[in-house]
Chains A and B, each alone.
Chain A
Amino acid sequence: MKYSIKQISLKIFLAAFSASLFSFAQLGFAITPEEIMEKNFIVNKVTDSTSQTTMILTNKAGKERVRKTFGTTKLQKGTFDNMRMTRFLEPTDVKGMVSLLIEHSKDEDDIWLYLPSLKKVRRLVSSNKKDSFVGTDFSYGDVIGHKVKEWNHTILKEEEVDGFMCYVIESTPINKTISRNTGYSKRVSWIQKDTFVARKAMMYDEAGSLYKEMQFLNLELVEPEKNKWYAREFRARNVQTGHSTVIKVDELKVNVGVKDSYFTTRYMESQ
């Protein structure tokens, strides 16, 4: 039996359409997991901000170390790519250290670091997102946000967290490079259904074992007209080492008119 090209194309289209209808009908979701993660990726991307944070690092024995930082962010024009500057205030041995990160959604990010002891700004390799962010249990990738297109996403189920209904999304890296660069073989995120803010997350290491648990607390609507939310407290625990981190946003201001020129190496050198 022979089919014309038109007939074959029509059959393929109908088969694909039926399959997609079936899968959505079966799971009962009117939104794709990619859309959820895209909305989650931008939900905390405010126009600009200044903030002061306290990071409390606690080891397995309960011994604490504290870092205080002052940070600014600003979205690059017409994008959801942030520029972030973080100035370390405490403890004394890191005081004056400044990092500048310019995100590029279609390319590698740019990172510079100013070390007061060197009196110089130095450009850093940015492809590696798995290293600890200044000794915390958050990686650079966790802080910047994992690019949605670099992961395959699946809705596992819906579940309540702290009284809020959430989508439970499983994300796996699209290739081994992403897994190697982020240090994760899988991420599971609990995304609040109505706001798309993350409530908690679990990360699995490259070998597939549970690695970190994260919580995002005291969520605040900071730009109501744009549905922008910000967690005032971030918690992460490395279940393999017992080390944990709490990041408290002590002070946060959004839409304060931060200028582009502040995100330059010149400002990093201002002591």
Chain B
Amino acid sequence: MPTNSSANFKRLLVNGAAFFLLAFFVASGWAQNADIPPEPSDEPSLFPEDFPADGEEINNKWHSSLNEMGLTGSLRSGFWSSNRLSDNNNSIGVGSLWLKYDQRFSGGLSAFVEGYAENQGFIDSDYDVSRIKESYVHLRKGDWDIRAGKQIIAWGRTDRLNPTDNLTPRDFTLLSPEIDEDRFGVNAIKASKVFGMYSSLTVAWIPEFEHHTTADIKLADFSFSKTKTNDSQYAIKFDQSGGDIDWSFSYMSGRDLGYDLAITGSSGGTVLVNQNYNKVETFGADLATIVGSNRYAIEMAYTRTEDNAGTNFLIKNPFLFTVVGIEHDFGNNLSAIVQGFHNHVMNYQDPRNISDSTERFVYSLSATGNGQLEQDSFGLSGRVGKKWMNETLEGELAGSMLFTGHGYSVRPKLTYAISDSLKATAGYEFYGGASDTVLGARRKNKAFFSEIRYFF
């Protein structure tokens, strides 16, 4: 099929670029080891391999030889009182092995691979999964950084809620106490050119689109399916990190990581609905600065969709999403972040006014998931973090609240470092509010969780 051939060709390009960089520089490294004079350089290494410690060896462990090869990882065992699939499965045991390979070669080349294998055990069934989160090679040469392979590209300066972060997907069904572990890489080539000390221009090409992983929608009399697309995505960002203010401008052209619902027909009394990932263009900007004991951040993005007139309920309308936050450091390892967010939908039309009841239901559901049920949505998110006992015990209370529809979530979490190798975490995820809000709709996912991690 032409589509598959095109996708395979693009994948081949990214992997080929990664392989070429790796092969070329590994070969050059071997060549240097073979007593061929290295390229003249007056730059000292900023990595420790060239500075082996001659001091007393402390806490020497069986896994130090693995670490020397660049291999680290963790064994995890956890319990969740509910999954994140909005179904009725509960009391889930999760066991997983996470591995990370991080190695530097000569000539500014490095390689990074991270993946995991996991088993989720339910009372009456179990489920295995193994995935590669990232696998790329990175070349740093002069003012250039080039990264090729499966990689996470994370943009934005506000806390966890990032309007400009729309290049690489998240897996919202992943059972992990650490929220940021739900990011997954995509095959991409990313190049950055640095200007002076603080500025850089980054261009990214993502040949194969991958959307967020969300819970399957299961409703009586409805059948939902997803359309896979292989479109390329492009993005560019000018970033300034340094001086008094950090800021950036970005642009992305590609596919929406979240879906729009579209009724495609019916079959034997069942309504067929497609989850489409439509084309979007996003213009974004962010800024962060410190004044006294406060960190201020603002991030906003205007997203153009294929329904700029706002007349087609199958496609979300263009929108402007803004997050403004303040973080205060109270000292004694106590800090708090409060963020206000606002989503304005352009050319808004209320899907609840659609006369056909099936269409009204489906497009209201779609608008709820996309935060487009109202023209203007307001909300707050926040996080309080505290560390005790020389950072042995860490506590966090995170939450968010939608003023429009009154949905809310609360997530307290405690982590205790039993030793350098062993960490225990326990917490609770609570969702509440009206079911026609993004947060209220997740009520079935509220869960107690606990996990023990052994690092090696």
Contacts and interface: CB of A to CB of B under 8 A. Distances in A.
Interface of A: 50-52, 54, 56-57, 59, 63-66, 68, 70, 72, 85, 87, 89-93, 95-96, 102, 108, 110, 112, 117-128, 130-132, 134-137, 180-181, 183, 243, 248, 250-251, 253, 256-267, 270-271
B59 A64 contact: yes
Contacts of B47: 70, 87
A91 to B, nearest CB: 4
Contacts of A72: 46
A64 B387 CA distance: 18
A266 B190 CA distance: 14
A59 B452 CA distance: 22
Contact of A54 (B51, B53, B329): B53
Given A117-B181, A125-B293, A126-B290, A50 B421 contact: no
Interface in B62-80: 67, 72-74
A248 B289 CA distance: 34
A123 B145 contact: no
Interface residues of B, number: 69
Nearest to B153: A119
B226 to A, nearest CB: 26
19 contacts: A50-B46, A50-B51, A54-B53, A70-B51, A91-B420, A92-B74, A125-B294, A125-B335, A243-B389, A248-B55, A250-B53, A250-B54, A250-B55, A251-B54, A262-B46, A265-B198, A266-B200, A270-B138, A271-B110
A54 B295 CA distance: 31
B158 to A, nearest CB: 10
B51 A253 contact: yes
Given A92-B72, A130-B332, A264 B293 contact: no
Given A112-B241, A121-B241, A137-B390, A52 B53 contact: yes
Interface in B372-425: 387, 389-392, 417, 419-421, 423
Contacts of A123: 246, 288-290, 295
A124 B51 contact: no
Given A72-B46, A93-B455, A120-B154, A131 B59 contact: no
Contacts of B183: 119
B218 to A, nearest CB: 32
B48 interface: yes
Nearest to B136: A271
B48 A52 contact: yes
B448 interface: no
B35 interface: no
A92 B455 contact: yes
Contacts of B152: 119
Nearest to B454: A92
Nearest to A109: B290
Nearest to B453: A93
Contacts of A135: 387, 390-392
Given A65-B420, A132-B333, A271-B138, A257 B55 contact: no
B178 A117 contact: yes
Given A92-B74, A136-B390, A250-B54, A125 B327 contact: yes
A52 B419 CA distance: 22
A56 B110 contact: no
Nearest to A93: B455
A111 B390 CA distance: 20
A37 to B, nearest CB: 24
Contacts of B332: 130-131, 183
Contacts, number: 170
Contacts of B40: none
A110 B156 CA distance: 19
B109 to A, nearest CB: 11
A71 to B, nearest CB: 9
Q: What 8 A-B pairs have minimum CB-CB distances, sorted nearest first?
A: A135-B391, A250-B55, A250-B53, A70-B48, A92-B455, A265-B241, A91-B420, A125-B329
A264 B46 contact: no
Contacts of B56: 248
Contacts of B348: none
B390 A59 contact: yes
Contacts of A124: 290, 295, 329
B37 interface: no
A58 to B, nearest CB: 10
Given A57-B390, A134-B391, A251 B292 contact: no
Given A137-B390, A271-B110, A56 B138 contact: no
A247 to B, nearest CB: 11
B455 A181 contact: no
A63 to B, nearest CB: 8
B420 A256 contact: no
Nearest to A91: B420
B222 interface: no
Contacts of B181: 117
A66 B455 contact: no
Contacts of A108: 290, 292
B290 A66 contact: no
A90 B389 CA distance: 19
Given A56-B58, A256-B44, A264-B198, A65 B417 contact: yes
